[in-house]
Amino acid sequence: MAESDNIVVETAEKIFADLADPQTINNDKKGSWQAPLWRALSEAGLPLSWVPDDLGGSGASLADGFALLNAAGRFAVAVPLAETMLAGWLLAQARIASPEGEMTVLPASPRDRITVDADGALSGRCRGVPFAKAAKHFALLAHARDGVSIALVDASKARTESGLNVGYDHSDTVTLDKVQPVTIKAAPKGLDQTAMMLMGGVARSLQIAGALESMLDISVRYSNERVAFEKKISKFQAVQHNLARLAGESAAALAAATSAADAIANAKSFDDAVYLEAAAAKIRCAEAAEKGGGIAHQVHGAIGFTIEHILHRYSLRALAWRDDFGSESYWAVELGKLVASRGADELWPLVASR
């Protein structure tokens, strides 16, 4: 695991290590670990990392928040930390204060749309909204006739149908039918639904990269423990090569995700350069989740396929996170169109601009 040299990440890792041990969580079928974990994270101000002090948050930098999400991925934590962070970030863009408690953002898919009626009420349907069922408030982006707005909505005003993603986490359908927001304000220039998807996609990329790091670690460890044919399976060349490929996928995911996070943290707007970074990260991390997760399971044999083993906490979540804020095929089409519209001679300058 990468050494954390950052106080936000250190705090989070300590909390995760104490209260989100994957084996403890796995053994606890009732989910009684969730409340203490959330309480500890909240007391440390982590869910509102990206909310400035004057809006009720802890005002961490974008970079620190991204590093925190990477750490959350390494523990595959299943509480709405990333979602509340994104919600707080979105609200802060319109200078809306964040309330206490769990939040989530919507839409969580680039194809869903929320509209603002003439009287300011919100309508629309959003699928696959992570942790909507657990959220007390929604932060959402809505389209009005004269532009884009950001709103805070009381979750109880919307209809939420429960669903689960492949990682067994809540991924719900939220329907807004003329819901009056708590607050609604115009979004700043340049902050549109695409920007929000890119931001959400990078958050997911960092989580996937973190989960892959853990999958690599536990797979290497397992291969050094499991004995077959009278030797450790780590001594078989075929197993070594599989693990080398897993290391490659994990490294690629980490490089793509941290590069995109760095790009957003240092950019003034969601321009083409950020677009390339963020879209590429989501595409590459999703591919890594598929390839890398497959190898991790292969190395673990049948044991990794059991519900008792912690591997699935990482592998299934990494697979599930592919779907949020635009899948890899969605972003590949969009990125491909962008590249094509700029033309062949601009491709290398775009890549080399980073």
Partner 1 sequence: MTAALRFDPIRLPEKCEQLRKEVRAFLAEEIAAGTFDPHKPNREDTDVPEFSRKVGARGWLGMTWPKKYGGQERSFLERYVVTEEMRVANAPTRRFFVADRQSGPVLLKYAPEHIKMDILPRICRGEICFAIGMSEPNSGSDLFAAKTRATKTDGGYLINGTKIWTSSAHIADYMIAIFRTSPPTKENRRHGLTQFLVKMKQPGIKVNPIGQITGQYEFNEVVFTDFFVPDDHVLGEVDGAWKQATSELAYERSGPERFLETYYVLTELVRAVGPDPDTRSAEGIGRLVAQLHTMRRMSVSVAGMLQAGKEPVVEASIVKDIGTVWEQQLPHRVRDLAAFVEETATNRETLERQLDFAIKTAPKLTIQGGTTEVLRGIIARGLGLR
Eight-state DSSP code of residue 320 = H
> Quick one: 35 or 340, whose CB is closer to partner 1?
340
- Which pairs count as long-range contacts for 160-167, CB under 8 Å and 24+ apart, including other chains? 160/129, 160/132, 160/133, 162/133, 163/128, 165/128, 165/130, 165/320, 165/323, 166/316, 166/319, 166/320, 167/78, 167/313, 167/316, 167/317, 167/318, 167/319, 167/320, 167/321
Question: Considering the complex, what minimum distance in angstroms separates the CB of residue 277 from partner 1?
Answer: 7
Residue in this structure with the two tokens 């491909």, named with its chain if needed: 336
Question: Of the candidates 97, 166, 247, 267, which one interacts with partner 1 according to CB under 8 A?
Answer: 247
Q: Judging by beta carbons within 10 Å of its beta carbon (0-12, 13-18, 19+), is residue 27 exposed, middle or buried?
A: exposed
Count residues contacting partner 1 (CB under 8 A)?
60
Question: Considering the complex, what minimum distance in angstroms separates the CB of residue 252 from partner 1?
Answer: 5
Q: Contact between 331 and partner 1 (CB under 8 A)?
A: yes
Question: Of the candidates 262, 267, 294, 298, which one interacts with partner 1 according to CB under 8 A?
Answer: 262
Q: Contact between 348 and partner 1 (CB under 8 A)?
A: yes
Q: Judging by beta carbons within 10 Å of its beta carbon (0-12, 13-18, 19+), is residue 66 exposed, middle or buried?
A: buried
> Quick one: 138 or 331, whose CB is closer to partner 1?
331
72, 16 contact by CB (below 8 A): yes
Question: Considering the complex, what minimum distance in angstroms separates the CB of residue 332 from partner 1?
Answer: 3
Please choose, out of 80-88, 100-108, 140-148, 323-331, the segment that lies near partner 1 by the rule CB under 8 A: 323-331
Q: Contact between 67 and partner 1 (CB under 8 A)?
A: no
Residue in this structure with the two tokens 């929000």, named with its chain if needed: 196
Q: Helices (DSSP H) in the chain: which residue ranges? A: 7-19, 22-27, 34-43, 62-75, 81-93, 193-225, 237-266, 272-300, 311-321, 328-342, 347-352
Residues 6+ apart with CB under 8 A from 43: none
Question: Considering the complex, what minimum distance in angstroms separates the CB of residue 204 from partner 1?
Answer: 15
Q: Contact between 250 and partner 1 (CB under 8 A)?
A: yes
Which 201-230 positions form the footprint of partner 1 (CB under 8 A)?
A: 213, 216-217, 220-221, 223-224
> Quick one: 144 or 332, whose CB is closer to partner 1?
332
List contacts with partner 1 (CB under 8 A).
1-3, 213, 216-217, 220-221, 223-224, 234-235, 237, 239-241, 243-245, 247-248, 250-252, 254-256, 258-259, 261-263, 276-277, 279-281, 283-284, 287, 328-329, 331-337, 339-341, 343-345, 347-348, 351-352, 354
